[in-house]
Amino acid sequence: MNRGAVLHIPMSEYAYGVDEEHVTIRLRCGRGDLLQCVLYFGDRACRQTPVVFTKQEMKVAASDLYFDYYETTLSHPYKRLNYYFELISKTERVLYYGDCFMEGCVDDRSEYYQFPYNHRADLVSPPAWAKDAIIYNIFPDSFATGRGYLSEKPVQKEFAGETVRGKLGGTIKGIAENAAYLKELGFTAIYINPVFAAGEYHKYDLLDYYHIDPCFGTNEEFRDMVRIYHENDMKVIIDGVFNHCGWKFFAFDDVVKNGEKSRYKDWFYRLDFPVIRPENSEDYPGYECFGYERMMPKLNTQNPEVVEYFCGVCQYWLKEYDIDGWRLDVASEINDAFWESFHQAAKEVNPDAILIGEVWETACHWLDGKKFDSTMNYDFRKHCRRFFGDRSIDAFEFDSRVTNMRMRYRAQTVYAQLNLLDSHDVSRFLSLCDNDRKRYKLAVLFQMTFPGIPSVFYGDEMGISGILEEEYRAPMKWKEENEDLFSFYKKAIALRRDYEALRHGKYRTVQAEQGSRLYIYARETDSVTIVIALNADDHVCSLPEMIGSGEIIWQEGLNGLDLAPMGWIVVITDKKRCSTH
């Protein structure tokens, strides 16, 4: 037994309340190391000594390149738990508790692992609708001026004496007038990049947090847009930029004008007085910024006044305009206490509002139920890029990576993660597939059948490509017919919406072999198993017989049990015949 591979962390994704009546316990060990893993759990407040333990067999829930993850979910357990593990390999049997390997039990219950109390307040509970959401991400300047139309003309207007600019003519009205288009595709929600008053076309250099940018429209037009989307059964999520503001934001402007006498000097980080806005973009400013962007001074989100101001912004748009949530920019660079206050403010107004943090790295820290419900899952994109895009990994390693990605979070978090292939910050995934639409379609089908919220960037369904910023933020292709990709997206989205197992079901690897690019996985509920096979190889692959016995929902390139290069098949099959490879 490789004892160095054994890991259990109490009060984490390895031991958590699913709800008030269920607790999930996990243990990690070396891949293929154990023959058996057994959980023993008892009431930590038990009046007997030694504690009376109950035995529960654990099963391998997932495996990655190096580890097996054993898991069990206790139904209606004691509210207060202590527990230990029995680990059995070919060569030894050992108990594991308190991060120690032991030969036997002890009377002192404090030495065992503890789950002190399954508190309702500590449960991680993303909004229930998140599991069913399919999001369309709109970059407002690039999307639409009207129904099926983008002017592609620059716009310049005035706001509070400052010039604000648009680049391609997108508007709030344009978003509203294309609700039917998105409904036809099957989306259930939209996420809109920043819409508040700001200097540049991207609107991340904010002037004001209470007004829609005049290049995009008015507050009333925004209110009307939200109403239209709600009438079409789609939710509206907007972008919140609270790590930094624009350098013409009223508080920073006051600091520039009044220096150390400004009442807002503590709203910002590391100011050198006098505060000067550098004219040369290559100069380093005398104040902390987002990166080194001189036009985006960093806010001091530890300051109670700043916290109060932006929690007010949060509640204003939830209350007055009935938005359904926030995507939160540069979330990982803001202190925890700010996000905890923001979370509380949002949930006070609408407990079902979703909070999605922009976190590019492993996000466990922010997904404890007190900050965010979800994060932008850039790891999903990264792994898809390696398998479908540059094709540098095989099915075995791809499965290992997505398994590791799933097992680092609580189960309820996995189903709320925002799984994206594209965003306004990265090259289009179609370009990363060398504009090979067959490879691209495999990635999109994987996205639509994986646990979590699929997020589609505007124009992906029309084949927008591009490596550079100007290219991947290109004008929406309203005038170009792209029936092939449009129809594919429509069918892939309908597939996800039609089958609950693809939204709520457990995920299980069926086949992922070293040296192969055939990847087969299943989504399962108590009543249905759906198996998906993706052939990302350049040659025909043979499928296991159990797929042939299933009911085909959708396929491309199937001939008997042979699957053509870049082909796929989605089947409903008898789960008893679908064994894990």
Kindly tell me the sign of the dihedral angle through the C-alpha atoms of 473, 478, 480, 483: positive
Return the percent helix, strand and coil in the chain, to nearest 5: 30, 30, 40
Which residues have C-beta within 8 Å of that of residue 228, sequence separation ≥ 6? 176, 179
Rg of the chain (C-alpha set): 26
Query: Do the Cβ atoms of 95 and 87 come closer than 8 Å?
Result: yes
Nearest to residue 170, comparing CAs of 190, 154, 189, 191? Answer: 154
Instruction: Provide the edge-to-edge strand list for the sheet that holds 22-30.
Output: 15-19, 22-30, 67-75, 59-63
Which residues are 53's β-sheet partners?
42
What secondary structure letter does DSSP report for 7? B
- Mode of pairing for the β-strands spanning 162-166 and 529-535: unpaired
The amino acid at residue 142 is S
Helix axes 304-321, 336-349, angle to 10 degrees: 30
> For the range 556-563, what are the long-range contacts, defined as Cβ-Cβ under 8 Å and sequence gap of 24 or more?
556/441, 563/518, 563/533, 563/535
In the residue annotation, 481 being an active-site residue is answered as: no
Task: Quote the tokens at residue 354.
Answer: 């979703």
Of residues 68, 253, 329, 379, which has the active-site annotation?
Answer: 329
Alpha helices for 205-358 (secondary structure H): 219-231, 250-258, 304-321, 336-349
d(CA 204, CA 424): 12
Q: Are 419 and 452 in contact (CB under 8 A)?
A: yes
513 contacts: CB under 8 Å, gap ≥ 6: 394, 395, 396, 581
In the set 43, 71, 177, 358, the catalytic residue is 358
Q: State whether residue 32 is helix, strand or coil.
A: coil
CA distances from 124 to 405, 486, 493, 578 (A): 18, 36, 27, 32
Distance, in Å, from the CA atom of 220 to the CA atom of 477, rounded to the nearest integer, reads 27
Contact residues for 213 (Cβ-Cβ < 8 A; gap 6+): 159, 164, 166, 195, 196, 197, 198, 203
Residue 132 appears among annotated catalytic residues: no
CA distance 570 to 535: 12
User: Which sequence positions are flagged as catalytic?
Assistant: 329, 358
